[in-house]
Amino acid sequence: QQQVKQSPQSLIVQKGGISIINCAYENTAFDYFPWYQQFPGKGPALLIAIRPDVSEKKEGRFTISFNKSAKQFSLHIMDSQPGDSATYFCAASKAASGSRLTFGEGTQLTVNP
Amino acid sequence: GAVVSQHPSWVICKSGTSVKIECRSLDFQATTMFWYRQFPKQSLMLMATSNEGSKATYEQGVEKDKFLINHASLTLSTLTVTSAHPEDSSFYICSARNRGPNYGYTFGSGTRLTVV
């Protein structure tokens, strides 16, 4: 019940295209769903996060879509740029103090010029 | 925004020596700090969870005597790799969770440890 499944494992898009990464979770106690961007040799950086009281959140070119009944959430990157090439991780956590983040397996995104 | 400072960013040490990695939350008090290990092209693997003033909780398979974690204050946690061996070479990352209902997790920049 602690798993978060992420797909695809790798993704190649053309500059200007839309990148879509999907995640599914099992534990209905999860109440925080962040996406992290990680460049080689760096720690993950928070990109955008959503809580289950809303179905969509948009920040610039990045949008999270959240489907509570299906227990799925996705990251959409509009107008993808070569600088977006990185590894993206979805994650989920519970509100209880000290709860850990449960990570997806990661998606290696490559945006071709 | 929340900032977590992790030092050093890279370290090379000889087999048998110990290495300490520091993780500081700069502008918030972290109720809990986490230590991860990451292998190339893999997700983050949680090693241990630490709460200020209490003993760390280690994940199954992680040697608590090899990876010593100290969480002395609400802003500082340290990971000491004792008697390091080449197989301990890896990328280590800390994370801190802030307090409150709008909690979140902030990650350090990571430490590349190479044991020679």
Query: What does the pLDDT read at residue B105?
Result: 93
The whole-number average pLDDT for the span A6-31 is: 97
Please report the pLDDT score of residue A2 as a whole number: 63
For residue A37, list chain B residues with Cβ-Cβ distance below 8 A. Answer: none
Q: Quickly state the pLDDT bin for A1 (edges 50, 70, 90).
A: low
Position B28 scores a pLDDT of 86
CB distance B53 to B30 below 8 Å: no
Give the percent of chain B with pLDDT over 70.
100
pLDDT, tens digit, 9 for 90 and up, residues B54-110: 889 999 999 999 999 988 888 999 999 999 999 999 999 999 998 777 788 999 999
Return d(Cα A21, Cα A90) in angstroms, integer.
9
Put simply, the answer to whether B93 touches A44 (Cβ < 8 Å) is yes
Enumerate chain A positions whose Cβ falls within 8 A of a Cβ in B. 32, 34, 36, 41-46, 49, 89, 91, 93, 95, 97-101, 103-106, 108
Whether B43 sits inside 8 A of A43 (CB atoms) is no
Q: Give A110 to chain B, closest Cα distance, Å.
A: 14
- Cα(A97)–Cα(A94) distance, integer angstroms: 8
**pLDDT for position A97:** 76
Question: Would you say residue A94 has pLDDT above 80?
Answer: yes
Which chain A residues have a beta carbon less than 8 Å from that of B42? 106
Residue A90: closest C-alpha in chain B: B43
Out of A36, A42, A95, name the one closest to residue B110 (CB): A42
The confidence score (pLDDT) of residue B7 equals: 97
Contact indicator for A111, A11 with CB cutoff of 8 Å: no
What is the Cα–Cα distance from A38 to B48, expressed in whole angstroms?
A: 21
The model's pLDDT over A42-80, given as tens digits with 9 standing for 90+, comes to 999 999 999 999 999 999 999 999 999 999 999 999 999
* Dihedral over Cα of B33, B108, A108, A53: its sign: positive
With CB atoms and an 8 Å threshold, state whether A105 touches B43. Answer: yes
Q: In whole angstroms, what is the distance from residue A20 CA to residue A48 CA?
A: 14
Q: What is the pLDDT of residue A86?
A: 98
| Average confidence score pLDDT of chain A | 95
Write down the pLDDT at residue B51: 85
Average pLDDT, chain B: 93
Closest partner residue to B93 (CB to CB) among A43, A49, A100 is: A43
